[in-house]
Structure 1
Amino acid sequence: MEVIKRKLKWIVIALLFIGIIPILITTYEVIFSKNQSVQFLENYHPNVVFLIISYYFFILGLGIFWLIRQLILISKLKNERIKAELLFLKSQVSPHFFFNMLNNLYGLVAKDTQKAQELILKLSDMMRHSIYEGEKETVTLKNEISFLKNYIDLHEMRYHKEINVDFSCDVDENKNVVPLLFIILLENAFKHGVENLREKAYIKMSLTTSQSKIIFNLENNYEKTENSSGIGLKNLKRRLELIYSNQHELAFSVTKNVYKVQLILKNYD
């Protein structure tokens, strides 16, 4: 491969050198001849002039072709890099949640078989959505809402305390959205809110659509801890930058014991 590259390099240099010979000759004649001006290629045979001009057009076309080809290659490489990065970010969505649920299943199977069966079905639907739907560029809002509701149901079955989760939807379910965006924000609400509160834990969530926007709002109470926010929000922000660049708004509001977040996706369909 390196040998071929070196040969191509010398071929290009030779072609360029041949191409500038007439220019060098004309420049020499202008500088050292007694003529006040010299016409380009005036002393050459018409056939030679035609060949030289044709050669210049060939070099110009070759240069334009090479430039376009390089731009196409750069664009393809950029797209492949973005796809690879998005695939990597998607693979990090909620892995510990599935492990926690499987651990809960282990203890629940012997105590409450019917509840364990319900949990297994919901967990299976979630895993199917995360693996197969998550690979797609977009999914319907109907599927994404079903995924979020299964996630909420599983958490409500998991905890041995009362929690209040209110999820309201006013959407066109046939509209499309990039999968596994909202789940990161909901997961944080459970992880940093519900799990740390002994009582009166709540999550209030809404999803609405307009002609050109998806609006997702989430509010939860929490108790301050020393835990870091992890990679979830970083991954979400990076995915939004790659997919909805300049077409999204992500805003956070933190008061004494209440955490609010709003995600707006613009021109989504």
Structure 2
Amino acid sequence: MVEYIKKNRAFLIALIIIPIFYMLDYFGVINIPEDEPLEVILITLFWWWVIALPIHNYNYLKRKGATILKVIVLIVVFIVALGVDTLMDMPDNPVTFILLMGFWIGVVYLLIPTFINKYWKLIALIYIPLFIYFLYLRLFSGGLEAYLEIKKEFPFYVFFLPIPVLFFVWVYEQWKWFRNLKAEKSKTELSLLRTQINPHFFFNTLNNLYALTVKQSEKAPEVILKLSDMMRYTIYEGEKDMVKIKDEIEYLNNYIELHKIRYKKSVEITFNHDVDTSLTIAPLLYIILLENAFKHGIETLAENAFVHINLNEETDFIIFSIENNFDPNEISLSKGIGLQNLKRRLSLLYKNKHELKVDVSNNLYITTLKIAKHA
């Protein structure tokens, strides 16, 4: 409670407005009507907020001193314009017109300074001729009566026509900014997903290498060499937007060979590919599906495990499919980070130009990934 009061002490300080009002009323400076309690309450609340808010936001106002000064200047300009118009009592007073124009330009600049700085030449090109023409009609068309006659027939709404034009230009700028923001967000997110993929994959592969080195296997140097090639591909090619399919095929073959070296049990692994190897695709998409087939398939079976991999193409799509068996009693209900990342990457890179399908029947997984050739 004490902290809350301390945080909002400005509103307590502003209550000083109440005794000030009664003091001013006592000395006859103001008159507080006794028969209008609602009016007194509303006016008091208004001035209470006027005093409290600047105190409460003192630090913000201190940081935004230049902006506050601009607002004060605009308020003064507006008050002066109203004063001049009232004192001179002249139809379409040019002085009032100039002051109000300056006021509204200032307001717009305060709200959207970047837009004004970018399009000030266009705005000047539109409004300076209109302003000059108005001054000509008002001051040099033969006096006030002649001007009023012209005004009856002249379509003065032309002075307001540029406003919707400039408004639509501003809307277009906001749309373009939002589109670029989304693209930048997607690019940043893709970069983050890639950094998550690499450690995830190599953690599993290094575990395989550790098992071989513990057993002092003669195959350990071969594993290290293949792992080195895969790391090089992941680090350098994985950062590219697109790679050739032939490089992805080689990468998958290296991964398969690593696992063939590791397993002593009966494992059937086939990889058939009939595809134009010059086609390009986003890197490191297939490896996640292949890794899952080994991790949740072969790893769960003591014998007769298999993984059948196919990569081919249709007229408009590249099709990658994996079929593997698994032990239903060993199936994991948790969703790995790899598959989550894959789905997110596909949605960012290919949007509606891909299809990821997983079929599970008995002890068989069939995963199919279709990606448009010219996405």
**Is 1:128 the counterpart of 2:128 in the alignment?**
no
Using the alignment, how far apart are the partners of 2:282 and 2:167 within structure 1? 40
Using the alignment, how far apart are the partners of 1:61 and 1:16 within structure 2? 19
Report if aligned partners of 1:94, 1:184 keep a CA contact under 8 Å in 2: no
Using the alignment, how far apart are the partners of 2:174 and 2:64 within structure 1? 19
**Is 1:189 the counterpart of 2:279 in the alignment?**
no
Equivalent residue number for residue 258 of structure 1: 364
Using the alignment, how far apart are the partners of 1:78 and 1:84 within structure 2? 10
Q: 1:152 to 1:60 in 2, by over 3 A?
A: same
Q: What is the TM-score normalised by the length of structure 1?
A: 0.77
Q: 1:238 to 1:110 in 2, by over 3 A?
A: closer
Q: Which moved more, 1:109-118 or 1:193-202?
A: 109-118
Report if aligned partners of 2:245, 2:278 keep a CA contact under 8 Å in 1: yes
RCO higher in structure (CA 8 A, sep ≥6)? 1
Report the Cα offset of residue 106 of structure 1. Answer: 4.4
Using the alignment, how far apart are the partners of 1:116 and 1:17 within structure 2? 73
Instruction: Tell me the matched-pair count.
Output: 244
Report if aligned partners of 2:296, 2:331 keep a CA contact under 8 Å in 1: no
Q: Which moved more, 1:101-110 or 1:68-77?
A: 101-110
Q: 1:4 to 1:199 in 2, by over 3 A?
A: farther
Q: Secondary structure at the match of 1:67?
A: helix
Q: 1:226 to 1:195 in 2, by over 3 A?
A: closer
1:255 aligned partner, one-letter code: S
1:213 aligned partner, one-letter code: F
Equivalent residue for 2:104, pick from 6, 9, 14: 14
**Is 1:207 the counterpart of 2:297 in the alignment?**
no
If each structure's helix is expressed as a fraction of its own residues, which one has the higher value?
2
| Residues 96-152 of structure 1: per-residue CA shift (max 9 Å, x gap) | 442243344345458657522221121111112222211111111011111111111
User: RMSD in angstroms over aligned alpha carbons?
Assistant: 3.3
Gaps of 5+ in 1: 20-40
Using the alignment, how far apart are the partners of 1:121 and 1:72 within structure 2? 48
Percent of paired sites with the same residue:
45
Whichever of the two has the greater Rg, that structure is 2
Q: 1:5 to 1:187 in 2, by over 3 A?
A: farther
Q: 1:217 to 1:52 in 2, by over 3 A?
A: same
| Residues 178-207 of structure 1: per-residue CA shift (max 9 Å, x gap) | 111111111110010111111111100100
2:187 aligned partner, one-letter code: K
Using the alignment, how far apart are the partners of 1:156 and 1:42 within structure 2? 97
Q: 1:226 to 1:252 in 2, by over 3 A?
A: closer
List structure 1 runs of 4+ shifted beyond 6 angstroms. Answer: 10-13, 16-19, 49-52
Equivalent residue number for residue 23 of structure 1: none
| Residues 42-66 of structure 1: per-residue CA shift (max 9 Å, x gap) | 65499xx79984x535434432332
Equivalent residue for 2:178, pick from 74, 86, 89: 74
Q: 1:93 to 1:42 in 2, by over 3 A?
A: farther
Q: What is the TM-score normalised by the length of structure 2?
A: 0.57
